[in-house]
Chain A
Amino acid sequence: MSCWQTIQDYGLRSIGIGERLLPKGDFTLCEHFTLIGSGMIWNVYFGVLAMTTGFFLATALALGKASPNRWLRKPAEWFIFVFRGSPLFIQFFFAYFFFLSLKKSYPMFDAFTSAWLGALIVLFLNTAAYSGEIFYGALRSIPKGDIEAADAYGLSGWARFRRIVWPTMLRLAWPAYTNEAIFLFHATTLVFFSAFPAWQQRGDALYYASYFADKTFNPFVPYPILAFYFILLTLLIVWGFGLVNTRLNRHLPAETRGKMRFRLNLAR
Chain B
Amino acid sequence: MFSFCADPETLGTFRWFSCYLTNGVHMSFYLSFVKVLVLLAVTAPVALSFGFVGAMAARSHFPPLSWLGKGYIAIVRGVPDIAFFLFFVIALDQAFEWTRHQILCPDWTDPIRQGNDFLVCPSAKLPLGSAPEWVHETYGFFLAVITFAIVFGAFAANVLFGGMRAVPHAQLETAAAYGMSRRQTFWRVLVPQMWVYALPGLSNLWMVLIKATPLLFLLGIEDIVYWARELGGTKTSQFTAYPHGDWRMWYFLFLLLFYLGMTRVSEIGLERLMRRLSRGQATAAGELLRKETTA
Q: Which of B13-21, B74-82, B127-135 forms contacts with chain A?
A: B74-82
Q: What are the 6 A-B residue pairs with the smallest beta carbon separation, nearest first?
A: A186-B80, A97-B249, A94-B252, A234-B78, A87-B211, A85-B263
Can you list 7 A-B contacts (CB < 8 A)? A86-B260, A87-B211, A186-B81, A217-B90, A231-B78, A266-B77, A266-B205
B116 and A90 within 8 A (CB): no
Contacts of B227-270 to chain A: CB distance below 8 A: 228-229, 232, 246, 248-249, 252-253, 255-256, 259-260, 263-264
A227 and B214 within 8 A (CB): no
User: In the assembled complex, which residues on chain B have CB atoms less than 8 Å from the CB atom of A25?
Assistant: 115-116
* CB of B48 within 8 Å of the partner chain: no
Least distance between B221 CB and chain A CB atoms (Å):
14
* CB of B110 within 8 Å of the partner chain: no
* CB of A249 within 8 Å of the partner chain: no
Q: Is the interface of B mostly helix, strand, loop or mixed?
A: helix
Query: Given A94-B256, A220-B91, A230-B80 in contact, is the A89-B214 Cβ separation under 8 Å?
Result: yes
Pick from B76, B232, B263: contact of A97, CB below 8 A. B232
Contacts of A96-120 to chain B: CB distance below 8 A: 97-98, 100-101
* CB of A264 within 8 Å of the partner chain: yes
Besides A25-B116, A86-B260, A186-B80, 11 other A-B contacts (C-beta < 8 A): A90-B252, A90-B255, A90-B256, A97-B232, A100-B249, A209-B86, A213-B86, A219-B94, A231-B78, A267-B201, A267-B205
B204 and A267 within 8 A (CB): yes
* CB of B212 within 8 Å of the partner chain: yes
A98 to B255, CA, bound (A): 14
Residue total for A at the interface (Cβ-Cβ under 8 A):
47
> Interface readout for A168-191 with B: 1 if CB under 8 Å, 0 if not?
000000000000001001110110
B246 and A219 within 8 A (CB): no
* CB of A82 within 8 Å of the partner chain: yes
Which residues of A pack against B, CB within 8 Å? 25, 81-82, 84-91, 93-94, 97-98, 100-101, 182, 185-187, 189-190, 193, 206, 209-210, 213, 215-220, 223, 226-227, 230-231, 234-235, 263-268
Q: Which interface residue of A97, A223, A231 has the most chain B CB atoms within 10 A?
A: A97
Contacts of B45-92 to chain A: CB distance below 8 A: 75-83, 86-87, 90-91
> Interface readout for B182-221 with A: 1 if CB under 8 Å, 0 if not?
0000000000000000000100110110111111011000
A25 to B253, CA, bound (A): 41
A219 and B201 within 8 A (CB): no
- Give the nearest-CB partner of A190 in chain B: B82
A223 to B80, CA, bound (A): 11
Query: Given A189-B82, A234-B77 in contact, is the A86-B256 Cβ separation under 8 Å?
Result: yes
* CB of B158 within 8 Å of the partner chain: yes
A93 and B82 within 8 A (CB): no
User: In the assembled complex, which residues on chain A have CB atoms less than 8 Å from the CB atom of B77?
Assistant: 234, 264, 266
A87 to B260, CA, bound (A): 9
B158 and A266 within 8 A (CB): yes
* CB of B162 within 8 Å of the partner chain: yes
A101 to B210, CA, bound (A): 28
Chain B interface category by residue count = 35 or more
Contacts of B136-174 to chain A: CB distance below 8 A: 154-155, 158-159, 162
Least distance between A158 CB and chain B CB atoms (Å):
35
User: In the assembled complex, which residues on chain B have CB atoms less than 8 Å from the CB atom of A186?
Assistant: 79-82
A266 to B218, CA, bound (A): 21
* CB of B113 within 8 Å of the partner chain: yes
Least distance between A220 CB and chain B CB atoms (Å):
7
User: In the assembled complex, which residues on chain B have CB atoms less than 8 Å from the CB atom of A98?
Assistant: 249
* CB of B96 within 8 Å of the partner chain: no
User: In the assembled complex, which residues on chain A have CB atoms less than 8 Å from the CB atom of B246?
Assistant: 97, 100-101
A187 to B208, CA, bound (A): 13
B91 and A268 within 8 A (CB): no
A94 to B254, CA, bound (A): 10
User: In the assembled complex, which residues on chain A have CB atoms less than 8 Å from the CB atom of B159?
Assistant: 266-267
A90 and B86 within 8 A (CB): no
User: In the assembled complex, which residues on chain A have CB atoms less than 8 Å from the CB atom of B248?
Assistant: 93, 97, 100
A220 to B249, CA, bound (A): 37
B91 and A87 within 8 A (CB): no
Q: Which interface residue of A90, A97, A98 has the most chain B CB atoms within 10 A?
A: A90
Least distance between B65 CB and chain A CB atoms (Å):
21
* CB of B225 within 8 Å of the partner chain: yes
Least distance between A142 CB and chain B CB atoms (Å):
19
Query: Given A206-B80, A266-B77 in contact, is the A86-B155 Cβ separation under 8 Å?
Result: no
Least distance between B39 CB and chain A CB atoms (Å):
13
Query: Given A97-B246, A210-B86 in contact, is the A81-B260 Cβ separation under 8 Å?
Result: yes
- Give the nearest-CB partner of B264 in chain A: A85
A218 and B259 within 8 A (CB): no
* CB of B118 within 8 Å of the partner chain: yes
A192 to B144, CA, bound (A): 21
